[in-house]
Amino acid sequence: MANKPADSITHTEERRARIQAETAEIHKAQAIAEENRQEKQAVRDMKADDADAAMLEKQAYLLTDLGSRDQLLEQVRRMRLETPENAPPPPPPMTEFQKQQLEIEQNAGREAVARAEKQQEEVRIWREKLAAEERVREGTMTTVHQPNPGMNEKFPVNKVTIK
């Protein structure tokens, strides 16, 4: 019986073996998951590289078609000069009645602007008048400056000289 280890030692060794087995399983699962992740990332990277290459080829093809900057500007100028086929037609010419209506509306607008300017001028004059009345009511204060007298002069208040 002296050679048999204590129960606590046996229990600790069994627990240690279980923990090591669980740790080994966890590490193995993590390694497999990391390997799968790296494979998926590699596939995504390849797809992205293929898409980038296709985009670059498309852009390079577009650039070779357009040619130089001058050719591109000339093409833009031509496009601006071309009118689309389904462009709306220009408005019809105005009739005499429409011209009279336009003149009436424009005169009404001019009169409204004149009235508004007259009203603004009246308000400005009224505000200036109120400000002038306020200044008269409050009165004005003029600052009085009395310099200090010199050594041989008398103070104005008590007629004493400083010596």
What are the residues whose beta carbons fall under 8 Å from the beta carbon of 161, sequence distance 6 or more? 152, 153, 154
Residue range 52-106, pLDDT digits in tens: 888 888 877 766 655 677 888 888 888 888 777 777 788 899 999 999 999 999 9
Contact between 122 and 133 (Cβ < 8 Å) = no
Write the pLDDT tens digit of every residue in 110-146.
999 999 999 999 999 999 999 999 989 988 778 887 7
Q: Which pLDDT score is estimated for 115?
A: 97
| DSSP states of 102-161 | HHHHHHHHHHHHHHHHHHHHHHHHHHHHHHHHHHHHH--------PPP-TTSBPTTT--B
What was the pLDDT predicted at 68? 74
